[in-house]
Amino acid sequence: MSGRVRRPRCGAALALLVGLAAGSPGASAGPAPDGDVRVERLDPRLDALLPAGAPIERVVDGNDWSEGPVWDVRDGSLLFSDVPRNVVLRWKPGAAPVPFLERSGYTGPAPFAGAEPGSNGLTFDREGRLLLCQHGDRRIVRLEPDGSRSVLAERFEGRRLNSPNDLVVGPGGDLYFTDPPFGLPRAFDDPAKELPFQGVFRLTAAGDLSVAVRDLEAPNGLGFSPDGTRLYVSNAVSRHPVWMVYEVLPGGGVGAGRRFADAAAYVRDGEGVPDGLKLDERGNLFAAGPGGVHVLAPDGTRLGRIVTGVKTGNVAWGDDGGTLYVAANHWILRVRTATRGAGFPRAR
């Protein structure tokens, strides 16, 4: 979910993809979109998570920058943000995506000055209400059953947030979110930036907002271990591209952190930085990062990578919890796994 600049399309070869209306999102379930999409296997333990021969399918194409996917178990659909277009889209298997929420991240009257006004990270709270990170409006909101939006967080100690990026409901029910400046028109150098740091915030059910982590330059994706004792956070800058892990204290606070894994060897021009992440029920990380989705064991060993060949923003568990959906530039990809998402909700 780096959100730093509007991503360009990926080149002439991808423009030849068939079955899609030019310039508009569409559905085209089928083989991997080009020859560069593959699984890179570095450790035999990966075979127990991503079986050999499992096809990687493209289910959506034509977005400007796909982000924040989340599965809605109530109707079997995937919601995701197209950040530059300022919209949340809904996709169901076998159909083209349709707008679900317009003006999803910026609702102001004037044209947005930057490239990424829309919503970014999405999740559901324990009552099944959609929560959104809004870039342009610089806040966290909740979509109510009547379609209205309730503001959950927009200021810390009187100062506006930067541009909330990703969010997750913690094991105790508190909401945790990252707040880098990538949604601001000039990011770190934007004159409207009010906070002197980029933090991971914790919002309690009582509405108390506190800083959980403030030692990262660009906190981005985040997720909890299955037992709730560790919080993983990605740092989305090329000069220090790492995934960190922090101790979760009794009561929901966050303690000391350490480097969990490093992506420096994979950072190349145009391939992105550590971004959104999810965990499976065994504690493995499926972490969007340079060139695809990096699969990391609980001990930090890199098991392999789903190579997409494009900047990759985030992932989500879907279907019955065993399918991984990947927001990769203007695509949504999916691959069937041999594991299941940590805490994936059961169908109602």
* pLDDT tens digits along 271-305: 899 999 999 999 999 999 999 999 999 999 999 99
Give 204's Cβ-side CA count (13 Å radius).
9
Lowest mean pLDDT among 73-87, 204-218, 262-276, 314-328: 262-276
pLDDT digits (tens, 9 = 90+) for 187-232: 999 999 999 999 999 999 999 999 999 999 999 999 999 999 999 9
Please state the φ and ψ torsions of residue 141, each to the nearest 5 degrees.
-130, 160
Write the DSSP symbol of residue 9.
P
Is CATH 3.40.50.10260 correct for 26-336?
A: no
Continuous segment of H or E residues that includes residue 285: strand 285-289
pLDDT of residue 345: 81
Residues in the chain: 348
What the block records as the tokens of 198 is 């980029």
What the block records as the tokens of 326 is 């990947």
Q: Report the DSSP beta bridge partners of residue 269.
A: none
Question: pLDDT category, 348, cuts 50, 70, 90?
Answer: low
What the block records as the tokens of 149 is 């939006």
Angstrom CA distances, 45 to 122, 302, 303, 307, stand at 30, 10, 7, 17
Question: pLDDT category, 11, cuts 50, 70, 90?
Answer: very low
Say if residue 101's pLDDT is above 60.
Answer: yes
Instruction: Return the domain boundaries, the chain.
Output: 26-336
Question: pLDDT category, 269, cuts 50, 70, 90?
Answer: low
Say if residue 12's pLDDT is above 90.
Answer: no
